Structure 1
């Protein structure tokens, strides 16, 4: 299969988003604050099993009681006649307060996964509602909503299993269907409240979250960006006059970069951005090589 096709099929949205997402600076906050945002200076070790069971029980109880009380008694929310409890929030509680170390339970997944699923479910219902006989097709709408929300969560790296139920409910539950578009901010608010409580309760004896956006080292990405800037500016004179070459003699699986040569196998189909990165890396090597040679030139002159 062509390398470009493989690149498209192996698409990862984080390769684009992580370029603009700032790295975490939670460690710079005062310790009482950084602790309840999941940061630990020492290596984290999960407490004993019964301690985990206790905090899981307490977190799920307080989280769902808080959401239920808001739905039932808050004047600004009660007027929309929400259900007693959105069932998918119960599944979220298990992740938010029990399996808190899994990627599926991290804030990005918990918030965006639920919100994307609620939005998907409402849109699918609205589309099926255009059919005068839509009630006979609710079971189809539920299946479509779940499948589409699953695809969206997977594509955006926000997989949160309870989101599937959130999408299905938006197409099959009469109370939620009656809410219409307002269902989306309800889910977003509920997820945010449960996340806030998770940060409070889970960090008393445990540690949550493991990360807020991604486990990747975003600081490293920033260093690479700075390196590229240095390569294009400081080494401009050294880069001038040099060129890249394609070769069929080099190892077919290897790109070879040296200060004066850059070999790219003919089988590699690289776009402009990828070629620019290789050029910048070569420029940095050339710049370092020139700096190393300068002291030798001075010593030979003397």
Structure 2
């Protein structure tokens, strides 16, 4: 046995613990500030509208499944729809941001025969709300969008298409409200584990600060702890085809998150690990992006 190897890790952890204790007042302040920023991100404005891309649309307002928060969006209509795709944007995004060029994507699917519902999550774009929970409440917002379609349109097929946090929300929402297919692009599988491992990629701060950030996060989000956002746990409660897409060099959310979810899901599934694109930019960098998703939808939705 290599005793040197065995001894090194405990000493390293002890060293980090000592530093956290010594600098705890400073780290606590930093953790509080960062946690506030995470739960109260700056809104991204909605830019443009579907008409500029030649689409017929309605301005819509519906309530989140929390029955309190009003959410705003657009319903872009196809001539003879076979179903509705609900776009689920990423953290700190809006219906026209995260992903980039979302209106161009919407036009593609409208021309393919799908209505597209694109909306702003709480505390994003033009929707109500003053805090983000990075999925805990946002998944309820998405459930509200699904219920809106089921109430107000002739029900055919509903597809969730989400990016990053929006992909995680799609999986969690589908565990409580049935849909016909999910496309999860660049999603994390467990928020608590993800933040513990990767928060430094977002904050550019050492991992010593992470425990303090995670301590203040549920306080500032009024009780919503990151462990409540666990898409991987929701996988055994959904029953529809799922397409996991991720870039192998994603600098924000490791592609192994999608690999693990693909391995864990027992239903109809597909995995595409792209070689270029970066975080939520697969649609910008891969010419086969729309082709592959069209093929998935043809098989999973139109062919079912």
Query: Which protein is bigger by CA-based radius of gyration?
Result: 1
- Could you say which structure has the greater relative contact order, defined with CA pairs below 8 angstroms and 6 or more residues apart? 1
Give the TM-score of the pair, scaled to structure 1.
Answer: 0.25
Looking at secondary structure, tell me which structure has more strand per residue.
2
Q: TM-score, normalised by structure 2?
A: 0.25
Of Structure 1 and Structure 2, the greater helix share is in 1
